[in-house]
Structure 1
Amino acid sequence: FYFAALGTLMPYWGLYLQSLGFDAFAIGSLMSILMATKIVAPNVWGWLGDHLGHRMVIVRLASLLSLLAFLAMPGTTGFVQIALIMTLYSFFWNASLPQFEAVIFNYLGKHVERYSRLRLWGSVGFIVTVVLVGRLVDSRGTGVVLTALLVVFAGIFLSSLLVKDRPGSSDQEEQPSIWIVLKTPRVMAFFAAVFLMQMSHGPYYAFYSIYLQDFGYSKSSIGVLWSIGVLAEVLLFVFMHRIMSRYSAALILLVSLVLASLRWLLIGWFPEVLSLLVLSQVLHAASFGSFHAAAIHLVHGYFRGRHQGRGQALYSSLSFGAGGALGTFASGILWEQWGAPFAYTMASAVALLGAWCVWHFIPTSTTEEKRL
C-alpha cells in the first residue's frame, strides 16, 4: 500500500495539479514537497524509533496522521493551501517506511539477501495502482486521483495493524558514535551517490507523464509505460539475491548509476520512439531496483545496533528527500527555461557524477565489502 501511493502520486499527481491550472514551475515546486519532507521526517521519527523502540507504533501513528491530513485535500485549489496539505500528509507518510524497513531487517536477521523478495510486493502495489488509476483517469478525469489516494492511505494504516514489532540485534555496545560512521570516506561517498541518483530522477518524477501526454500518448498508455518500469523492477527483485551473492553491492550501485544516465538520455531525446521508451522503462530495474537493493544492503552494513533506524532514515532523507526535492525543483526551472531534452541531459550528467563518487571512493570488490 505504501508503494501503491507512489503509483498514484508519481504518474498522476502532476496531471491533477495541471488540471487545476498550475504551470511547470508551480508543479515542480509542489511535487518537490513530497521529497522535501523526507529530509526532516525520517530523521525525526528515526531518532524516536532508535531511542524509544516500538517502531510499529510509530508506523501506525504516522500512517493514521497522513490519512487524516489528506482528508483536507478534496475541494482545495489554491497553491498555498495545497502546499500546506501536501507538507502535512507527506511529513507523516514519509516517516513510516524507514522504520518499517528497520523492522523488516530485524525479522530477516542474517538473511538480509531476502529483502528484495519482500520489497517486490511494494512494486506489485505500484503496478496495480498505476494501471488501474490510469484507466480511471482516462474514463472519469483526474479528480479520481483524490479518491484513489484516500483508499490507498487507508490501506497503509489498516495493513500496519497486522505487523508486530520484533526486537533488533543486541550489538549496540559495539557500535561507535554515529558521527564516526558518517565521517568515513566510503559512507560520505555513498550518501553523495544516492543523493545524486535521486536528484537525477527529478524530470522523470515531476514531468514524465506530462511529457508523454504532450506527444499524444493516452493516460492509460502512460500508465502502462510506468508499469513496465516497475514490472522490470519486480522481475529483478526475484533474482536479486543471486546477483548480490556474486557481485558486491558497491559494484551494483556503480552499474545502476551508469545505466540510469543512459535511461535519462533515451527519455529526453527519443520520446516519439516507442521501442526506446520501453527500453528506458526496462532500465528502471537498474535506476531504482538494483540501486535500491544494493543501497539498502550497504546501509545495513554501515549502520547497526542503536543506529539502525537513523541509518535507514538518513538514506531515505538524503536520497529520496534532499536529492529528490532538489532534482524535482530544479527540473521545473530547467523545463521552463530550456525544455525537456536539456533537463534530461542534465539528469544524465548528475547520475554520471554519482557513478564517479562510487568508483573513486567505495571499494567494489566482494573481498573489500566483507571487511565492513
Structure 2
Amino acid sequence: MIVPYWRLSGFYFAYFALLGGIAPFLSLYFHHLGFSAARIGELVAIPMLMRCLAPSLWGWLGDVSGRRLLIVRCGALATALSFTGIFLRQDYLWLALIMALHSFFWHAVLPQFEAITLAHLGDQSARYSQVRLWGSVGFIATVVGLGWLLQAFDLDVYPVVMLAIMSAIFLCSLLVPAPPSRLVKEGGQLATGFIRQLLRPGVPAFFVCVALMQLSHGPYYTFLTLHLEALGYTRSAIGVMWAFGVLAEILLFALMTRILAFCSLKQMLVVSFALAALRWLLLGGLADHLAVLLFAQLLHAATFGSFHVAAIHFVQQSFSERMQGQGQALYATLAGVGGALGALYSGYSWTSIGPFWTFAIASFAALLAALVLQWRLPGRADMATENDRVH
C-alpha cells in the first residue's frame, strides 16, 4: 500500500501552523483591540470549551457515517468561512460568537484526520511520528514568521494571516485521498464496560491530573506573549521563544523510544508535572533573564512532549481495544476543560494579583498533580498486571 506521505504531512503542517498563530498571538491581538485581561481570558477560553464538545460529537458522526474525509473538508471550509465574520465587527459579544463558531468546526477536523492518517498507514503505523512531525514544523514556521511580521507591520494584519492559513488547511484537505474503505469504519461499534475500566486503580486520578496539567498551562497560552512584551522582548524574539519550546518537543519525540525503555509511565508523568511546576515559577518570576527564559522554554519538552506521549500510552494501556475511542475522547475532553478553566482564572488574576502569583497558582496545580500521581498511580509491574486483565 502506497502512503501519501507528503499530502498527509502537508495537512499537518497547515493545521498546526494555525495553532502557531493562535497560541502566542491571539491574546496579543485582543489586547490590541483594547480588551481587558479578564475579557481576553474569556475569549481565549471559548475555543478551549469547544474542544470539550466538538471532538465527541464529530467523532460520533464520523463513526456512524464513515465519511471522515468529507467531515474534515467541510470542517476546514466552515472554519474559514465562519472566521471571516471577524472583519465585520470587533465588539466583545461578536468576537465571542466568532471564537465559538470557528473553533467548533476547527476542533472537528484533527481527530478525524488522525483516523484517516492511521488508516492510510495501515501496518506502517510506526511511521505516524514521521508524518506528525511536520505539524511541529508548521507551528515553528508560523510563530517565527508571524512574530517577524507583527514586528514589521500593524496587528491589524493578524486576522488576514489567520484566514490565509485556514484556507490553506482546506486546500490541503482536498489533496488528501480517501483512505481504504475497509479501514474507515473500524471502531464504530458501541462497547460495554467503559465505566468499569475507567474506575480501575489510578485511572480516575490520571484524568483529574490531565485537567490540572492543562489548567496550569492557562497563563502560558493566554498571557506569555503579553508578559514577555511587557518585560521588553520584541515580538520577533517572542516568536523565537515559542519556536524554541517546540524544537525541544521535537527533539524529545526523537528520543522517546529510548526513554520509554528505561522509564515507567508513572515516572514520566510525575517528572513531567514536577518540571511543569518549576517552569511556571521561572516564567512568572525570572523571565526577564534570557538564560532563565531559554531554560524554561526548554522544559516544554517535559510539560508537553513527555507528558503527552506518556498520557497517550497510559490511555492505551488503561482501556481495552474496543474502548480506545472513548478513552481518547475523555482525555481530549478533560484537557479542554482544564485549558478553559486555566484561561479563565488567569484572565481574572492577571491584573488583580499580577503575573508572578498567576503563574504561582499554575505551579501549585502542577505540583499537586505530581503528588496525586505519585500516590495513586500503580507502578510498572502493577500496571502491567492490570493491563493484562483488561486486554
Q: TM-score range by the shorter chain?
A: over 0.9
Displacement of 1:126: 0.5
Displacement of 1:113: 6.1
1:23 corresponds in structure 2 to 36
What is the CA RMSD across the aligned residues, in angstroms? 2.3
Q: 1:297-348: CA deviations, max 9, x gaps?
A: 22333345554433332211211x1000000100111112100000001100
Matched, 1:65 2:82: no
Gaps of 5+ in 1: none
Which range is displaced more, 350-359 or 179-188? 179-188
Equivalent pair of 1:135/1:219 in contact (CA under 8 Å): yes
2:7 corresponds in structure 1 to none
2:252 corresponds in structure 1 to 236
Q: 1:184-225: CA deviations, max 9, x gaps?
A: 343212211111100000001110000111111110011011
Displacement of 1:78: 0.3
Q: Whole-Å Cα distance in 2 between the matches of residues 300 and 176 of structure 1?
A: 17
Change (3 A) 1:240 1:168: farther
Displacement of 1:168: 6.5
Larger Rg: 2
Q: 1:37-72: CA deviations, max 9, x gaps?
A: 111111111222333333333222222211111111
Q: Whole-Å Cα distance in 1 between the matches of residues 195 and 127 of structure 2?
A: 29
Quote the sequence identity (%).
45
Gaps of 5+ in 2: 1-13
TM-score by length of 2: 0.88
Change (3 A) 1:89 1:57: same
TM-score by length of 1: 0.92
Instruction: Give the aligned residue type for 1:190.
Output: F
Q: 1:77-136: CA deviations, max 9, x gaps?
A: 100000001100001111222233344445566776654443322111110000000111
Matches within 5 A, 1:3-14: 3-14=16-27
Matched, 1:318 2:344: no
Matched, 1:87 2:100: yes
Displacement of 1:29: 0.7
Instruction: Give the aligned residue type for 1:230.
Output: V
Matched, 1:149 2:126: no
Change (3 A) 1:32 1:43: same
Counterpart selection for 2:211 from 189, 192, 195: 195
Equivalent pair of 1:168/1:305 in contact (CA under 8 Å): no
Displacement of 1:257: 1.0
Equivalent pair of 2:66/2:185 in contact (CA under 8 Å): no
The answer to which structure, 1 or 2, has the higher relative contact order (CA under 8 A, 6+ apart) is 1
Matches within 5 A, 1:254-265: 254-265=270-281
1:360 corresponds in structure 2 to 375
Tell me the SS of whatever aligns to 1:209. helix
Matched, 1:289 2:302: no
Q: How many residues align?
A: 371
Q: Whole-Å Cα distance in 2 between the matches of residues 110 and 169 of structure 1?
A: 16
Tell me the SS of whatever aligns to 2:87. coil
Counterpart selection for 1:280 from 296, 304, 307: 296
2:8 corresponds in structure 1 to none
1:210 corresponds in structure 2 to 226
Change (3 A) 1:12 1:255: same
Matched, 1:184 2:200: yes
Displacement of 1:169: 9.4
Q: Whole-Å Cα distance in 2 between the matches of residues 274 and 85 of structure 1?
A: 36
